[in-house]
Amino acid sequence: MSNDLDPLRDKVLLALLPDVPFDGWTRAALKRAGEKAGVDTAQLTMLFPRGPRDVAAWFSDWADQETVAALKEQSLSSLKVRERIALGVRTRLDILLPHREALRRALALFALPMNLPFGAKLLYGTVDTIWRAAGDRSTDFNFYTKRGLLAGVYAATTLYWLDDRSDETQATGEFLQRRLDEVLAIPTLKTRLDRLSNPLRALRNRFSAAG
């Protein structure tokens, strides 16, 4: 979806986000956001052909892009890889902090059975972005292992963060470090993958119960 229309997508998204906690990711909310952004119905259809689901997906892409931009301002070369990954996760969550309820509703949307594959694709995009920003250039089996492990850590940390009301979400940072410690401590790759397989299952269970 990335092209020269991205700034316009960003404009609509940012106009929509304040209303999502109240109205959800809906066509009515999207239409109002388009009006605020000066985008007519035909343009909205061109920007987001599948409507609210496309906007929610762009929300994830936007957060990924903002994370990369923020990490470029950091001195990552002095950090260990593990520290870079932790910083990447925390940076993305910090960017999303003003939009926490919008993210909660987006996760609920992508936890629906019909949207799980699409949600998995977005999650992969996020962890791939974080690994690449951390300097990962692997191309072998290790490439997929790293992303699979981080997907589990990121999904669990995000669920914890959604309800974290500690000062500057300090508790989330501690939770993230514990999850990374656990991943590094598991003795075999098979056990790692077994424990962290299908991280979206946690999202589905969480929001199915809430519904």
Residue 37 domain-assigned (yes or no): no
CATH number at residue 83: 1.10.357
27 lies in some domain = no
9 lies in a domain?
Answer: no
Look up residue 95 and give its two tokens: 């960017």
Total structural domains in the chain?
A: 1
pLDDT reading at 106 higher than 90: yes
Structural domain span for residue 176: 52-210
The answer to whether residue 34 sits within a structural domain is no
Q: What is the mean pLDDT of residues 111-136?
A: 95
Structural domain includes residue 168: yes
More confident residue, 188 or 20: 20
pLDDT-based confidence at 3, cuts 50/70/90?
Answer: confident
Q: Looking at the domain assignment, is residue 75 inside a domain?
A: yes
In a domain, 5, yes or no: no
What pTM did the predictor assign? 0.86
Q: Which residue type occupies 33?
A: A
Residue-level pLDDT at 17: 98
Q: What is the pLDDT of residues 50-97, one digit of tens each?
A: 999 999 999 999 999 999 999 999 989 999 988 999 999 999 999 999
pLDDT tens per residue, range 42-52? 999 999 999 99
> Does residue 28 form part of some domain?
no
